[in-house]
Chain A
């Protein structure tokens, strides 16, 4: 419970993290000189092999943050400040935010790949699946040009990894595949260049339960096999609990609580995280009535002066309306696994008494 507030101001030391996000703002231009910030002062470290979930309501900035990390924002997207340090395969640490065009192009997919929402049409409708593989491999060739046959054989192996029949899928057009097959093909494509980081944005949304199940199983398997790091963005807490070893909760564009999966699901210290968990039915144990969280997240232009969650918080004090809490370290651990929370009452024993009902 030490109130050491060292997270946002981490000095630029190399502690072996794969990805070090240092105080980045991600926003959208709204006019010639104005912009709104959708993700505010986000900092976290992701170490090799870790799997971190970003959870929160719709519109809390999760997707914006995910796209921002690869600089894939739409034309109006901006990252006005901060650093996105990434340790490339060649050991060099680069700041993704300031990478040049060609370097950025080579960085994408080769170092960090992204799997988009299950419902997204991630495949070009006029190209066959094999053309997507060919395009991807060809764009990242270094000197040696591989033959078409070689690439297709490699692609077939990748598709087999996600339990798809390459003979049928490779020559198919995207519209000839089901949503689940398309999503698994995209995962195969994402792993084609052996990226160190896989960002998954709502990978199972809009897929039916059985398909979701198979995607999750495949991902777990693949991670054991290939040991890449994962950052996945979801509002599905069940998925987070299953796939992640770390969770970060986002609210109104801010990371408000981070910790291990155990910290978040059993010892949540931010009332918003608790509310999020309480709004989902438990699969095991006594069936309790899920508690909905009334209201919605604040607009980006009309953030309250104090804690952004204060207006909806059942435990808010008068201070909460005026003081914006910083992300305090509650349980320090290395490798970015510290339990942190941005709540004035995060150490309030009255609120977090052992065994007290949430």
Chain B
């Protein structure tokens, strides 16, 4: 055991080659130290910590769900004791249970994806509520991020190749301005400017996630309608983050353009297109991959405001409701799920990075 302990490299560095002396070859050990598994392990740990924070924060706040529900019932003329009894019956939640018991139940529920029932929406479990709203948010943010990154990287590269030319100056100013406007302001500008003054679209009609009468399913009408209603949020998200991506990509590309291997590639007589993609582009994107997750996380946070402004029925409105009505189970569930989404985005970008950069891993 002692030798095995000594053989385990520190988990973070992992720079010992495959034949480094003392490396254990046992299969479980290798799996444990596998790059992907290490990353997944860390992601799970982060979610665990966040779940704990939400759990204890919920309990540390004054009042509990029973009090809140009972309080609302008494407003209807019920006596406090009666109201408490009803509240305790309708909520699968025992206030008097010891904290460790609650903690255990909470985490068992979490693992089985049973996050309890909502307080404000009777008969609807937290999982169902989130399941009904989260996909729309992830859809609009996902598409927005994808478009913003694709466009931002392309424009950033053009700026770097044409630096100090007119196009670079124009795009730089545009990117700085866009980067400085908060996303909910962009949403307002879109609705007020594009919808009301210029009359390009009818903002009332665009509200919600689907037009009335459209059935969900894998049909062209459904997908088309989903995009139609998500257009404003998507445009908002694109405009909100594209500026940053342009500027960061410009800086990164400019740096790579000064690298020796680019000069050598030119000396080798490679075609400009090949140099721009495989030599400049790929290396310039590498340090930015980690920022995809950051971008995504920022957007999820900003979605609360944007969805409110654009009346898009995503998870943002749900979160606001949960806070307003002190729907603690829903709030807990939402925070955990939203954090998990960002953690997963982080994990994906980490794994993507290791695929793109051969110097990572091994």
Contacts and interface: CB of A to CB of B under 8 A. Distances in A.
Nearest to A113: B267
Given A126-B282, A139-B274, A173-B359, A116 B260 contact: yes
A135 interface: yes
Given A126-B286, A127-B278, A121 B261 contact: yes
Interface of B: 258-261, 263-271, 274, 278-279, 282-283, 286, 356-359
Interface string A120-153: 1111111110001001100110000000000000
B270 A139 contact: yes
Nearest to A125: B359
A110 interface: yes
Contact of A72 (B263, B271, B356): B263
Contacts of A110: 269
B269 A139 contact: yes
A105 B267 CA distance: 8
Nearest to A140: B269
A-B pairs, 3 with minimum CB distance: A108-B269, A120-B260, A122-B264
Contacts of B278: 124, 126-127, 135
Q: Tell me whether chain A's interface is mostly helix, strand or loop, or mixed.
A: loop
B254 to A, nearest CB: 11
Given A124-B279, A124-B283, A127-B278, A70 B267 contact: yes
A28 interface: no
Interface of A: 67, 70, 72, 74, 105-110, 113-114, 116, 120-128, 132, 135-136, 139-140, 173, 175, 186, 189
A107 B358 contact: no
A281 B265 CA distance: 38
Nearest to B358: A173
Given A121-B260, A126-B356, 17 more contacts: A74-B258, A108-B268, A109-B269, A116-B264, A123-B264, A124-B278, A124-B279, A125-B357, A126-B286, A126-B357, A127-B278, A128-B358, A135-B268, A135-B278, A136-B268, A139-B269, A139-B271
Contact of A105 (B259, B271, B283, B359): B271
Nearest to B280: A124
Contacts of B271: 105, 139
Contacts of A107: 269
Contacts of B268: 108-109, 113, 132, 135-136, 139, 189
B267 to A, nearest CB: 5
A123 B267 contact: no
